[in-house]
Amino acid sequence: MANDNLKVLNALDIAKTQWYHFTAIVIAGMGFFTDAYDLFCISLVTKLLGRIYYHDYGDDKPGSLPPNVSAAVNGVAFCGTLAGQLFFGWLGDKMGRKKVYGMTLMLMVICSIASGLSFSSEPTAVMATLCFFRFWLGFGIGGDYPLSATIMSEYANKKTRGAFIAAVFAMQGFGILTGGMVACIVSAAFKSKFPAPAYEVDQLGSTVPEADYVWRIILMFGSIPALMTYYWRMKMPETARYTALVAKNAKQAAADMSKVLQVELETDQEKPSETRKNEFGLFSKQFLQRHGLHLLGTTSTWFLLDIAFYSQNLFQKDIFSAIGWIPPAKTMNAIQEVFKISRAQTLIALCSTVPGYWFTVFFIDRIGRFAIQLMGFFFMTVFMFALAIPYHHWTQKENRIGFVIIYALTFFFANFGPNATTFVVPAEIFPARLRSTCHGISAASGKAGAIIGAFGFLYAAQSQDSSKTDKGYPPGIGVKNSLIVLGVVNCLGMLFTFLVPESNGKSLEEMSRENEGEDEEVVEMDHVRAHENRTVPV
C-alpha cells in the first residue's frame, strides 16, 4: 500500500500543468472572490447606514453609527470567519475536502441575500438582523480559507504549486475591486435618478428614501458569483492526497485523478493492511517536535499581518477623509458620499491591491515564499513609518497625492508579500490528515488580528482633541500614532517570518515528512523481494 501511495503522490507532483488545474483555480478562486467582496463591501456603506438610521435633526454633522454599532457591523463577520475557519478546517480533515466544500458556499449565498433583507425599519432591528446574518456569512467564508487552500495544494504539481494557491487567493483582489465598482455603479445610478442637495443645504433632503436600497443591493450582489460556481464545486472529485493518505484508498485516488488529470495509474490494493507509523495527532508530542515552531510561525505572522492589513483596508475612507481626498461629509448628500468612498477604494484596489497579488503569483515559485514574505513585511514597515513620522506634511493639500501613492505602495507590498504567503504556506507544510485543521488555525489567528484591527482602529484613529472626534467616540491616539503602531506590528511580522520554513520546489510529503514511515516500508519490501529472487548455486 505504501508503494501505491507513493506512485499516486509522485504522479501528482510531476504531472504537467493541465486545463483542469486552471479550472480548479477558477472554481476555488470564485469562493475567494465572494469572500473578499462580502467582507470588504460593508466598509463602503457604513457611513450611509449612519445617515439613514442614526440622523440627529439639527446636528451640523450627518448621522453616523454609534461606536458600539459600528464596531459590531464591521467586526461581526470576522468573528464568524474565525469560528468558521476552526470548525470547517477540522471538518475538512474528518469528512474530506469535497463534502464540506459545498456547505460553505451555500451558507455564503443564503446569508449574502439575507443580510440585504435585514428586517424592520427601526435602527436597532435593522442592525441586529444585519449583524446576525453577517456573522453566519463570515462563518461560511471562514470555511473557504482552509478548504480552498488545501484542495489547490493537493491538486497541484510541486513545480507550480505556489503560483496555483496564490492565484486562488489573488481572486480576493478582484473581489475587493468589484465591490468598489458595484458600489460606484449602484450609487451613480441612484444619484442620477434621485438627485438630492448636500447635507449643509438640506439636512433631511440630503438622504432620499431610496438610499435605503443602495446598501442592500451592494450587499446582496455578493451572492451571485458564489451561486454561479456551486454546481462546478460539487462536480470536483475528492483530492487524491486525502483519499490516499487519510482515507487510505490508493485505488480510488488513482481513479479520481485519472478522470480529471491526464495521468495513468494502476494500484493493486483498495484498502491498506497496516497502520502507518506517522499517525500522531495535533496535540501529540511528536507534532509539537516536528511542526510546533512551524505552526507558531504561520499563526503569528498571519495574526500580525491582519492587524495591519484590515486596519488599513476597512478604514481607508477615514484616512482619505483625514487627508482631504474625500470631501467633508456635510458638503455631500448620502448617495454621493457612497460614490466618493467607493471610487477612492476602487482606485487603490486597481493600482496597488490587484497588481500586488499577481506579482506574487508570478514570482512565488521563482524566488520562494520566505523571500517574498520577508520583503513584504520590510517594505510595509518602511512605508508605514514614512507615512506616520512626517504625517503633518502629508495632510497639506499640495502633498496629498504623495500620501496616497505611499499608502498604495503599502497595499502593493502587503499583497506582493505576507498577505499571499501566509495563505499559501500553511497549505504546504503540515501532514494531509491535519492540513486543513492547521490551515484553519493559522487563518483563525489571522482573523483574530483582523478583529483587533477592525475594532481597535475605530477608537485608536480618533483625534486626540475631543472636539474633533467622530460623534460618540472618545479621544484616541490619532491617525499618526496609529500608523506608527501598525509599523511596529509589521516589524514584528518580519521577525516571526524566520520561524516559517521554505517549501518552494518540495513535495507536500517532503515538507510534512509524511512518507518517512512509507519510505522505510518500501525499502524493506524491496530488500525482501531481492532476497526472495536470489538464485542459489547448485
Kindly report the average pLDDT of the chain as a whole number: 83
353-374 confidence digits (pLDDT tens): 788 889 999 999 999 999 999 9
Query: What local confidence, expressed as pLDDT, does residue 451 receive?
Result: 86
Give the pLDDT band (50/70/90) at residue 393.
Answer: confident
Residue listed under C-alpha cell 532476497: 531
Contacts of residue 526, defined as CB under 8 A and 6 or more positions apart, other chains included, come to: none
Query: What local confidence, expressed as pLDDT, does residue 72 receive?
Result: 87
Query: What local confidence, expressed as pLDDT, does residue 225 receive?
Result: 86
Helix (H, G, I), strand (E, B) or coil at 171: helix
Say whether pLDDT at 277 is over 80.
no
Tell me if 437 sits within 8 A of 89, measured CB to CB: yes
- CA–CA separation, 8 and 241 (whole Å): 8
Give the pLDDT band (50/70/90) at residue 21.
Answer: confident
Give the pLDDT band (50/70/90) at residue 79.
Answer: very high
Say whether pLDDT at 524 is over 80.
no
For residues 417 and 354, which has the higher predicted lDDT (pLDDT)? 417
292-338 confidence digits (pLDDT tens): 999 999 999 999 999 988 777 545 655 676 666 788 888 899 999 99
124-173 confidence digits (pLDDT tens): 999 999 999 999 999 999 999 999 999 888 888 888 899 999 999 999 88
493-505 confidence digits (pLDDT tens): 999 999 999 988 8
Say whether pLDDT at 268 is over 60.
no
The phi-psi region of residue 359 (left if phi > 0; otherwise alpha if psi is between -120 and 50; otherwise beta) is alpha
Say whether pLDDT at 83 is over 70.
yes
From 250, 17, 157, 257, select the one nearest 506 (Cα to Cα): 157
- CA–CA separation, 179 and 183 (whole Å): 6
**Which of 312-326, 376-390, 416-430, 518-532 shows the lowest per-residue confidence on average (mean pLDDT)?**
518-532
Query: What local confidence, expressed as pLDDT, does residue 146 receive?
Result: 93
For residues 369 and 393, which has the higher predicted lDDT (pLDDT)? 369
Give the pLDDT band (50/70/90) at residue 525.
Answer: very low
Query: What local confidence, expressed as pLDDT, does residue 322 receive?
Result: 64
Alpha carbons within 13 A on the beta-carbon side of 341: 31
191-216 confidence digits (pLDDT tens): 999 999 988 888 888 889 999 999 99
Percent of the chain with pLDDT over 70: 88
Percent of the chain with pLDDT over 90: 38
Contacts of residue 423, defined as CB under 8 A and 6 or more positions apart, other chains included, come to: 145, 149, 165, 166, 169, 443
Query: What local confidence, expressed as pLDDT, does residue 27 receive?
Result: 87
Say whether pLDDT at 375 is over 70.
yes
**Which of 13-22, 198-207, 482-491 shows the lowest per-residue confidence on average (mean pLDDT)?**
13-22
Query: What local confidence, expressed as pLDDT, does residue 440 receive?
Result: 96
In the chain the domains, ranked by start, together with CATH numbers, are 14-264+285-518 (1.20.1250.20)
Its pTM stands at 0.86
Residue 385: all three cell numbers together: 513609518
**Which of 297-301, 342-346, 527-531 shows the lowest per-residue confidence on average (mean pLDDT)?**
527-531
DSSP assigned state of 325:
S
Query: What local confidence, expressed as pLDDT, does residue 538 receive?
Result: 37
Residue 383: all three cell numbers together: 512605508
